[in-house]
Amino acid sequence: MRILLLCSEPVDYVIAYANGVAAHAEVTAILPRDRYAGVARWFDPRVTLVLVDWPRTRSPANIPFIADLVRRIRATQPDLLHLLSNTTLWLNLLPPLLDGIPVVTTVHDVQIHPGDRDTARLPGWGARLMARQSDHLIVHGDNLRRAACDSFGKLPDQVHVIPHPAIRRYADLAAELGLTRDPQDDRFRVLLFGRIFAYKGLATLLRAEAMLSNSLPTLQLTIAGRGDDPMDLAHLMGRSQRYEIRRGFVPDCEVAQLFTDADLVVLPYDEASQSGVLHLAAAFGKPVVVTDVGELGATVTQHRIGRVVPPRTPSALAHALCDLARDHEARDQLRRNARAWSEGLNAPATIGQTALQLYDSIVDRAMLSHAGVYG
């Protein structure tokens, strides 16, 4: 089976997913040169990588770009086209031009989260239209499946659950560079990583830290990523000297070191659909503390890779952090569980096999439908 993957982001998901599917099918990925040239080496050699000059959303160059994409797609002759996100506005022009090629789209977030300025810059109707035009949708959990059916007018058999695969490239980079944690560092290091926007629960984490000023003196919080400035909430901190803040883009080698150093990764989100950070942490074998929002709580509970607390509840978060800081045996078990999950059920090749089974059924359905109309 020939699968064509098309998208601009999210980069880590695209790499992990493409590698997983390439273990089972012939995969071509058409991707923006400026985003993927620097990370091309992390793609499985079985992925045929086609890097193109991808215009900005407001550029008039999108018209000839879409025409070129149609030519490339027809030349590839895929059995199925999979758009790995529904948030690229101009790709809405593609489905009517594809001569009956089934279109599958991954919807990572059914609704825009509060304060997510990156996604909010795009017109919401564009993402909704892409989802509605697609023959089938992929989401990352059962709650999202129900929400997608309601939001995009899809039948239940048109929306499918395929989990986000483990993100392995940073753990592989850490091994390649021989990264280790300083053996003299006896602090309990907690990491919040990713896009730091309002819905990510930064205020909850800071309030939890303030509650731990006396009961967990070795606590060290690292907050790393682009988005809001954590220092705008400095008045919520207990001890500002316990914070290490890296605001803005974090280079890959530094990401690898941050996760190597962490004792625990925290996802204190006020709301969420899912999180790639969870799948990155698991590849490092790091326990997590997450809030019970979106698919996070169910995933962590099912695979026993951390603790789950209610959202917007600093006291519960503080208790979970303190409990895991003191219970070395529990952390060791969670580490083993996380690593086993990332190398087994959540491994890219495992997710890719599930995807291929779905692709087979979609292509078969499309062929039967075509035969019913024209036979």
The CATH number covering residue 140 comes to 3.40.50.2000
Do 323 and 353 share a structural domain?
no
pLDDT of residue 370: 64
Q: Which residues contact 229 (CB under 8 A, 6 or more apart)?
A: 247
Do 20 and 142 share a structural domain?
yes
Do 354 and 285 share a structural domain?
no
pLDDT averaged over the chain? 93
CB-based contact 108:140 (threshold 8 Å)? yes
pLDDT band at 369 (very low <50, low <70, confident <90, very high): confident
Do 223 and 122 share a structural domain?
no
Q: What total number of domains does the chain contain?
A: 2
Check whether 159 has a pLDDT greater than 50: yes
What percent of the chain has pLDDT above 70?
95
pLDDT band at 375 (very low <50, low <70, confident <90, very high): very low
**Least confident piece of the model among 96-100, 254-258, 276-280, 371-375:** 371-375
CA distance linking residue 293 with residue 314, whole number of Å? 15
pLDDT band at 247 (very low <50, low <70, confident <90, very high): very high
CB-based contact 82:3 (threshold 8 Å)? yes
Tokens representing 3 are 């699968």
Do 204 and 148 share a structural domain?
no
Peptide bond into 10 cis (omega under 30): yes
pLDDT of residue 163: 94
Task: Tell me which residue has tokens 């697609």.
Answer: 134
CB-based contact 349:23 (threshold 8 Å)? yes
pLDDT of residue 107: 95
pTM: 0.94
pLDDT band at 197 (very low <50, low <70, confident <90, very high): confident
CA distances from 367 to 80, 193, 302 (A): 11, 44, 37
pLDDT of residue 217: 93
Query: Residue 150 in 3-state DSSP?
Result: helix
Task: Tell me which residue has tokens 């989100």.
Answer: 269
Report the run of H or E that residue 110 belongs to, with start and end: none
Do 108 and 206 share a structural domain?
no
Over range 320-329, report the average pLDDT: 97
pLDDT band at 112 (very low <50, low <70, confident <90, very high): low
CA distance linking residue 62 with residue 173, whole number of Å? 35
pLDDT of residue 110: 84
Boundaries of domain holding 159: 2-165+347-374
Over range 279-294, report the average pLDDT: 97
Do 313 and 208 share a structural domain?
yes
Check whether 336 has a pLDDT greater than 90: yes
pLDDT band at 116 (very low <50, low <70, confident <90, very high): low
Check whether 275 has a pLDDT greater than 70: yes
pLDDT of residue 113: 54
CA distance linking residue 107 with residue 144, whole number of Å? 9
Do 22 and 158 share a structural domain?
yes
Do 161 and 93 share a structural domain?
yes
Task: Report residue 246 CA to chain centroid gap.
Answer: 20
Do 187 and 135 share a structural domain?
no
What percent of the chain has pLDDT above 90?
84
CA distance linking residue 297 with residue 306, whole number of Å? 9
Check whether 28 has a pLDDT greater than 90: yes
pLDDT of residue 374: 45
Check whether 49 has a pLDDT greater than 90: yes
Check whether 120 has a pLDDT greater than 70: no
Do 104 and 10 share a structural domain?
yes
pLDDT of residue 372: 60
Do 101 and 214 share a structural domain?
no
CA distances from 166 to 53, 271, 335 (A): 28, 21, 15
pLDDT of residue 115: 56
